[in-house]
Structure 1
Amino acid sequence: MIDFRYHLVSLIAVFLAVALGIVIGTTQLNGPVLTNLQNQVSQLQEDKRALEDQTQGLQAQLDDDGGFDEAVGPVLVADRLAGSSVLLVIAGGDVDPEVVEGVTALLGSAGATVTGTVRLTDTYADPATTSGLESYVTGPGLPAGVVPAETGDAGELLASVLAQVLMVPGEGDDGAGVPPDTTATAQVLAGLEELGVLSRDTSSVSPAEYAVVLTSGAVEGEDADVRTTALVELATALDAAGAGAVVAGDPVAAEDGGLIAAIRADAGASDNVSTVDNVTAAAGRIATVLALVAEGAGTSGQYGAGEDAQPVPAPVS
């Protein structure tokens, strides 16, 4: 008869056999598995180093290209805007100061005079400020001769007033070539500064024939669509009131939620206002100046590195 001790010894033997098998199996597998893992890690490290080298090479190539563009930019645009005046409008607090400086310098190389820089605040066309803006632009505080558009849209009202005091009428317009009264310009800008919708980055701002609107990133917030629409209306109004306008920004501005994307998606706006989606690069700043030249010749286009965009405007004779 088999007793309990026999069962106990049998169970111990089974467990010992299992444990011994695990130990032997692990010992036998450890070598190949570990070697395989080490080989994979080594390969990944080599791939990483190769990608880093490739990235550094591409960055060096980009730097060389950017340096070349910086060097030839003044030559490419030399005197293309001789005798012209340009207003800078900064729409967005994230616009790099180096971009503003670069565009300003290149406009100088083109023979243009920058008449000032206006910076729009985050509250520009914010629905929360609509009541105060409408009261100002439709009230008795406007200078004589400044007549707001007949519309109930606050963005259009504000755009029409700004366009009248900031732009010199182009050819074919009533009063072509006659600049607005600088006193009226200063008065309107001061009133809007009091409302907190803009500021002046330069000591003085005078009307100009052309406008460059510099933007960056996407418009954010609950009322982003309303504010973006208002910025499109402003760019369109500046273009219509003067000799032409160009909206230039970084690549993000050409994506959903960005001002450039909004203009390109609006057939009426894109037919009249030129856009540049790589102004953060030297090539984009060159394209911005050349786009103004094309605007003066009556041609608008979409330029830069984005989809369906031309690298630079076609030469204007």
Structure 2
Amino acid sequence: MIDFRYHLVSIVAIFLALAVGIVLGTNLLQDPAIKTANEMTSQLTRANEELRGQLETMKAREQDHQEFVTALTPQLVRESLAGEQVLIVEPPGAGTTYREATEQVLAEAGAKVTGRLLLLEKFFDPKSAGVLDGLVNQLKPAEMTFPATATVHDKAATLLAATLMTTDTATAGTPSETLAAVVDGLQTGGFVDIDGDALNRATLAVLYAPDVPYEGDDAESQVAALTSVAAGLDAGGRGAVLAGAAATSAAPGGAITALRDDGEIAKRVSSVDSADMPEGQIVIVYALREQVNGAAGQYGTGAGAAAFQPVPPTPTPSSTESGS
């Protein structure tokens, strides 16, 4: 019989053999393994430096591109919207960076911004729909009627359009008779606010999509509310454009996506999903000009865009040009 000491000696011998094997193996493989690791590290470092250099080059080219477009913008939009009055509309979550840039381009195009209407979170809250509906019915003129199928936001959009928009350039830039009562009532109810002292009637409207698409159970109704406002303002004036960035507003769940998916609204309201680019701000002007001329289109780089910009109108030859 093999006694316990034999077992113990055998086990110790096995572990000793394993330890010796590990030591020998490590010594044999140490130099090649370290060399391989060093070579790989060097390759990754070089690749990273190359990519960083390419990124810096792309950033510099993009900066040059933006400066070039910005410098040409006054020439590209000059007198495109001469005499037009534009209302700016912002829902919660709309950024200010490209809105401010667009306002400058609108001014360079000859348009005047009549003011900014802020749609507050309560305006989009389904729980407040009943209150909003009652307030709209209270504030609307007696002669104003709504279709039987109109949603509460369709009704609110119709009231806002009748108050803030006009197709008559002679009355643009002046307050309507009902403006104070309607705006004050909706402000008191917590549904809207204004940036500035007052709003005057506009012929055109630019609405901005939220920087982040709506999420959650109420997302569909919230984005529908914004497209209703866009459609209502378009109907009350000479046109409307919904603007935003392709990565967000033209993505699934985005406001521009919802507008483009609604065939009826898309026939009348234009969208521009490149508002975060200098050239996109020019496209907003072109899209508004197209609206004044009675047409609409979906522009930009995102899903559903028909083209980057409207087809430019053919220039009228001046009387000083000689024929061939």
Q: Give yes or no for TM over 0.5.
A: yes
For the residues of structure 2 that align with 1:17 and 1:108, how far apart are their CA atoms?
Answer: 86
Equivalence for 2:61: 61
Equivalence for 1:149: 146
Q: How does 1:58-137 map to 2 (within 5 A)?
A: 58-96=58-96, 98-137=97-136
Equivalence for 1:248: 243
2:277 equivalent to 1:281: yes
8 A Cα contact 1:92 1:120, kept in partner = yes
Equivalence for 1:169: 167
2:40 equivalent to 1:44: no
Match of 1:99, as an amino acid?
Y
1:160 to 150, 158, 161: 158
Q: 1:11 to 1:71 in 2, by over 3 A?
A: same
2:195 equivalent to 1:195: no
Following superposition, the deviation at residue 127 of structure 1 comes to 1.5
Secondary structure in 2 matching 1:182: coil
Q: Which moved more, 1:1-10 or 1:111-120?
A: 1-10
For the residues of structure 1 that align with 2:5 and 2:93, how far apart are their CA atoms?
Answer: 86
Give % identity: 36
Structure 1 unaligned regions, length at least 5: 171-175
Following superposition, the deviation at residue 19 of structure 1 comes to 2.3
Task: State the TM-score, normalizing by the size of structure 2.
Answer: 0.88
1:238 to 233, 244, 252: 233
8 A Cα contact 2:267 2:297, kept in partner = yes
Match of 1:235, as an amino acid?
A
Q: Deviations over 1:221-268 (max 9, x none)?
A: 431111111111110111122111101112201111211110011111
For the residues of structure 2 that align with 1:127 and 1:10, how far apart are their CA atoms?
Answer: 79
Following superposition, the deviation at residue 144 of structure 1 comes to 5.7
Q: Deviations over 1:16-56 (max 9, x none)?
A: 33322221111101111121112112211211111111111
Following superposition, the deviation at residue 295 of structure 1 comes to 0.9
Q: 1:106 to 1:3 in 2, by over 3 A?
A: closer
Q: 1:27 to 1:257 in 2, by over 3 A?
A: same
Q: 1:5 to 1:113 in 2, by over 3 A?
A: closer
Q: Give the RMSD, CA atoms, in angstroms.
A: 2.3
For the residues of structure 2 that align with 1:269 and 1:142, how far apart are their CA atoms?
Answer: 24
Q: 1:258 to 1:308 in 2, by over 3 A?
A: closer
Q: Which moved more, 1:281-290 or 1:128-137?
A: 128-137
Q: 1:77 to 1:88 in 2, by over 3 A?
A: same
8 A Cα contact 1:90 1:215, kept in partner = yes
For the residues of structure 2 that align with 1:79 and 1:11, how far apart are their CA atoms?
Answer: 95
Match of 1:283, as an amino acid?
E
For the residues of structure 2 that align with 1:6 and 1:76, how far apart are their CA atoms?
Answer: 97
For the residues of structure 1 that align with 2:161 and 2:193, how far apart are their CA atoms?
Answer: 16
Q: 1:295 to 1:6 in 2, by over 3 A?
A: closer
Secondary structure in 2 matching 1:124: helix
8 A Cα contact 1:77 1:110, kept in partner = yes
For the residues of structure 2 that align with 1:168 and 1:6, how far apart are their CA atoms?
Answer: 105
8 A Cα contact 1:125 1:154, kept in partner = no
Structure 2 unaligned regions, length at least 5: 315-324
Q: Deviations over 1:132-189 (max 9, x none)?
A: 11111112x43465x142335211111111111111136xxxxx96558523112211
Following superposition, the deviation at residue 11 of structure 1 comes to 5.3
Following superposition, the deviation at residue 304 of structure 1 comes to 1.6
Following superposition, the deviation at residue 12 of structure 1 comes to 4.6
Following superposition, the deviation at residue 2 of structure 1 comes to 8.4
For the residues of structure 1 that align with 2:132 and 2:12, how far apart are their CA atoms?
Answer: 90
For the residues of structure 2 that align with 1:282 and 1:117, how far apart are their CA atoms?
Answer: 21
Equivalence for 1:173: none
Number of aligned positions between the proteins? 309
8 A Cα contact 1:137 1:148, kept in partner = no
